[in-house]
Amino acid sequence: MSQRLDYLKETPSQTAGPYVHIGCTPNFAEISGVFETDLGSGPLVNDKTRGERITIRGRVIDGTGTPLRDALVEIWQADSDGLYNSRNETRGSADPNFAGWGRCPSDMTTGEFVFHTIKPGRVPFRENDPRPMAPHILFWIVARGINIGLQTRMYFSDEEAANAEDPMLSRIEHRVRVPTLIGKREGDTVLFDIHLQGDKETIFFDM
């Protein structure tokens, strides 16, 4: 007799509420004694990390054009050689001096998030599709009113040729929306605002 697999039910999603910073980054919210440090708040790089240093600055903006002050943003990315700091990485060993993941709450005054990281290398599109994707960083966003975390990507404005042949970007039907995924490079800084609604709504991925 086959085993029934429907005895575990999916947990209903709930809004993150106005307490994202309190629950996930209590030290940032000036609540001490919960965690020694907030998860993901440590540096992504150190003085031995390989690759080009960059700083990502942006805001999560709602449909009225107002930056959210209670958003939480995470990034996931490959190292400068295009390898992930993950036990599932089978193509080689990632840079041990690069975390590959970080978390930043939006500033409670300006709504800005900031990451000090490196520009990632190119990675294959899929395991069975070795076409290289353009350098990009994965973003996950949660905030009050968002029931399920939103996922998007940031590509780089100084990678026009790689962006043009990127197999993910090429799948986007409405080409006028592609710029919502492009971070604007200004020296060592990359500017990337995430718009939840409106004319500039960022493309979000079902992943």
pLDDT tens, N- to C-terminus, the chain (207 residues)? 555 666 667 777 666 666 788 878 888 888 888 888 888 888 999 999 999 999 999 999 999 999 999 899 999 999 999 999 998 899 999 999 999 999 999 998 999 999 999 999 999 998 788 899 999 999 999 988 787 899 999 999 999 999 999 999 999 999 999 999 999 999 999 999 999 999 999 999 987
Instruction: Provide the pLDDT for residue 126.
Output: 85
Query: What would the two tokens of residue 196 be?
Result: 């939840």
Pair 112, 59: CB distance under 8 Å:
yes
Instruction: Provide the pLDDT for residue 26.
Output: 86
Name the DSSP letter for residue 184. Answer: E
Distance CA 51, CA 53 (A): 6
Element (DSSP H or E) covering residue 159: none
Element (DSSP H or E) covering residue 140: strand 136-142
Q: Which residues contact 31 (CB under 8 A, 6 or more apart)?
A: 22
Query: What would the two tokens of residue 69 be?
Result: 């002050």
CA separation (Å) from 114 to 37, 102, 199? 17, 10, 24
Q: Where exactly are the structural domains of the chain?
A: 17-195
Q: Superfamily assignment of 17-195 in CATH?
A: Aromatic compound dioxygenase (2.60.130.10)
